[in-house]
Amino acid sequence: MKSPTAGAKSSGNRIGREEALALFHSHDLFALAERAQQVRFAHNPKRIVTYNVNRNINYTNVCDAGCKFCAFYRREGDKDAYTLEEQDFIQKIEELVSVGGTEVLLQGGHHPELRLAYYEDLLRFLTERFPGVTVHGFSPPEIVHLAERVEKKSIRDILEALKAAGLRSMPGGGAEILVDSVRRKMAAAKCTAGQWLEVMEIAHALGIGTTATMMFGHIESLQDRVEHLERLRALQDRTGGFRAFIAWTFQDKNCLWEGRVKPSKGSFDYLRTLALSRIFLDNFPHVQASYVTQSLKIGQVALHFGADDLGGTMLEENVVRMAGANYCHTNEQELRALIQEAGFAPQKRDTFYRSLEESR
C-alpha cells in the first residue's frame, strides 16, 4: 500500500553502485552539477525554490543512546537535563506563529521514563491548540526505543497510536549512515539500519509521509554512502512515501568524537555528495540544501547542484548548533533574497510541499 504522498517517478537512466562510486571519485564538479540539475528539473520543471518557516523543538535532551557524535544529549539526572512543560511549548509555538510559521520539527532522545501516553497527550495538545501548525515529529530511533524498550509493543502499534493522536509527518533523523558496521561504531545502542527502514515503511503504509536524511563526513566510506542511498531508493520504489532527502556534514565539537574523528568540512565534498544524491535518488521528488552546516552562501550554491528546496528558517535549532554549526538561524526575507539572487523564484511552502504563496 502506497501512502498519499506516493507519485515520485524515476527520472530514467538510473545509475547503479559502480557508476555512483565513479561519480564520487570524479573531480569534475560542474559536470556533476549539470547532471544533477537535469534530474532536479525533471521532477520540478519550474525555476522555483521552496522553503518553509519552521522551528525545531527538542522536547527533552535526556537520552541513553550514547551517540559518539552527539553534543546535545544528557543523561537522566544531569544538572542540565530537561523535559519541556506545556507552557514551554505554548511560548515557543506562539513565537513561531507570530512570524508566519507552519511547522514544528519535534524530536527528543531515548528517554527511559517517557511513556507512550506522554507523546499522545503532547500531540493532541499541540494539534488542538495550534491547528495551523504541522507537527513533523519523532525520528525512527525514538519510535524503536519507545516500542521495544519502553512499551514492549510493535512499531506498528506505536505508529498507529501516534497517528490517531495527530501525527501527520515524520522527519528522517537518526539515519546517519544506513550501514550497520558504521552504526555500531557510532552508537551501538541505537536502532539498526533495518529497523530505521522498517519504521519508515510502516509509516508510509499508514499514510504518514516522511523525509530521509544522511549525516556524512565522519568514519564512513564512499561505498557506505552509496549503500545508504541504495537502501533509501529501494524503499522509495516500494512505498513512494519519502517527500524529500536532506544531507549534512558531521560537526565535531563537544562530542566524544571531537579530536578523534576528522570531519569533512570542505564544501567540495558537500556539493559533490548533494549532486550525487540528487542523481541517484531519482524517485525522490525533492532534495533540500543544508545551509545549517555549510553556510547560507553554500546553501545558495547548492541550488545549482540539484537542490530545489532551501529548508526552513529554523527559528530554533539546538542539536547541530551544539556540535559546532554556526549557521542555524535565518529569516524569511533573507531566504527569499538568496533564492532570487541565485536566479530562482522563492515559494513559501508547508510541510507537505504545498504552496503558501497565496497567504502572503
Written as tens digits, the pLDDT of the chain (360 aa) is 443 334 455 556 799 999 999 999 989 999 999 999 999 999 999 999 999 999 999 998 888 877 776 776 677 778 888 899 999 999 999 999 999 999 999 998 888 899 999 999 999 999 999 999 999 999 999 999 999 999 999 999 999 999 999 999 999 999 999 999 999 998 878 999 999 999 999 999 999 999 999 999 899 999 999 999 999 999 999 999 999 999 998 876 666 566 677 767 689 999 999 999 999 999 999 999 988 888 899 999 999 999 999 998 877 544 444 443 454 567 899 999 999 999 999 999 999 999 998 644
Residue with cell 531566504: 335
pLDDT of 265 reads 67
Helices then strands, each counted (H, E), the chain: 14, 10
Rounded to whole angstroms, the Cα distance separating 303 from 40 reads 10
**CA distances (Å), origin 187, targets 60, 89, 172, 193, 251:** 19, 29, 17, 12, 16
Q: Read off the pTM.
A: 0.91
Annotate 13-73 with DSSP letters as a single string: S---HHHHHHHHH---HHHHHHHHHHHHHHH--SSEEEEE-EEEEESB-B--S--TT-SS-
Asked if 313 contacts 51 with a C-beta cutoff of 8 angstroms, the reply is: yes
Tell the burial category of 222 from Cβ atoms under 10 Å away from its Cβ (0-12, 13-18, 19+): middle
Asked if 277 contacts 230 with a C-beta cutoff of 8 angstroms, the reply is: no
User: Which fold does the domain 17-359 belong to in CATH?
Assistant: TIM Barrel (3.20.20)
pLDDT of 262 reads 74
**β-bridge mates for residue 248, sequence order:** 215
Rounded to whole angstroms, the Cα distance separating 240 from 233 reads 9
pLDDT of 136 reads 96
pLDDT of 1 reads 40
